[in-house]
């Protein structure tokens, strides 16, 4: 069994991604949230390096998945480079054994990759006008489109929602997730 650490901006994010990718890899991979008490912008602090180094070793992880939101579109090159630099810098404490899942805008953009499941759960017929990676502020869009329905979207819904999403559809429709899966597979096969 391959042991993979998960580092994210929020426990909801790590739980959501774990729930999604376990669908495909649960027979071969065991996931371990790391640095659970380091959230949001604190991931940019020096403190995380010591925490991550210790927990990576304690959990005997083979590699780490770093989950970050770009909070921008991919065309914003300066922000993109900033997150890539963050990943490369932090990944040094795990001997460069990491994979970056950089969500274009936010984690919630991945939900638009399987909008049919979302629509089914929230009893909607929403059709996005653009690809998931071009939706600015997807969390707010999801809240807006559910504002008039009986069930309203909240980011705390994500872990359960991601258990129901179709990983194949998300990989097919979300470029950032497809890139992540390719890199994840390479790391698994090393």
Residue 104: Cβ-neighbour burial (10 angstroms; 0-12, 13-18, 19+): buried
If the chain, 190 residues long, is cut into consecutive pieces of 10 residues, what is the mean pLDDT of each piece?
95 95 96 86 81 95 95 92 94 94 95 98 95 93 95 96 98 96 95
Residue 70: predicted pLDDT: 93
pLDDT at 14: 95
The answer to whether 12 touches 158, Cβ cutoff 8 Å, is: yes
Which segments of 2-144 are extended strands (E)?
2-8, 29-33, 63-69, 98-103
Encode burial over 117-127: b for 16+ CB neighbours within 10 A, e otherwise.
bbeebbebeee
Nearest to 70 by CA among 131, 1, 9: 9
pLDDT at 109: 96
Question: What pLDDT, on the 0 to 100 scale, is given for residue 36?
Answer: 84
Round to whole Å and give the CA distance between 131 and 123: 21
pLDDT value of position 37? 79
What is d(CA 84, CA 80) in angstroms, rounded to the nearest whole number? Answer: 6
Please give the distance of CA 7 from its chain centroid, rounded to a whole number: 9
CB atoms within 10 A of CB 61: 23
pLDDT score recorded for residue 131: 93
31 within 8 A of 22, measured Cβ to Cβ: yes
pLDDT at 144: 97
């Amino acid at each position: 069994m391959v042991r993979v650490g998960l580092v994210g901006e929020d426990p909801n994010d790590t739980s959501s991604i774990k729930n999604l990718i376990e669908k495909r890899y649960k027979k071969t991979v065991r996931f371990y949230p790391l640095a659970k008490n380091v959230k949001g912008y604190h991931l940019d602090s020096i403190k995380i390096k010591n925490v991550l180094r210790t927990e990576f070793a304690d959990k005997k992880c083979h590699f780490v998945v770093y989950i970050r939101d770009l909070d921008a579109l991919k065309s914003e090159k300066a922000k993109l480079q900033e997150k890539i630099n963050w990943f490369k810098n932090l990944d040094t404490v795990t001997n460069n054994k990491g994979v970056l899942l950089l969500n274009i805008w936010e984690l919630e953009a991945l939900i638009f990759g399987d909008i049919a499941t979302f629509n089914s759960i929230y009893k909607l017929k929403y059709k996005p006008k653009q690809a998931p990676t071009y939706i600015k502020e997807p969390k707010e869009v999801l809240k807006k489109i559910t504002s008039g329905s009986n069930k309203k979207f909240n980011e705390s819904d994500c872990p359960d929602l991601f258990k129901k999403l179709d990983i194949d559809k998300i990989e097919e429709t979300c470029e950032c997730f497809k890139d992540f899966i390719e890199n994840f597979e390479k790391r698994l096969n090393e």
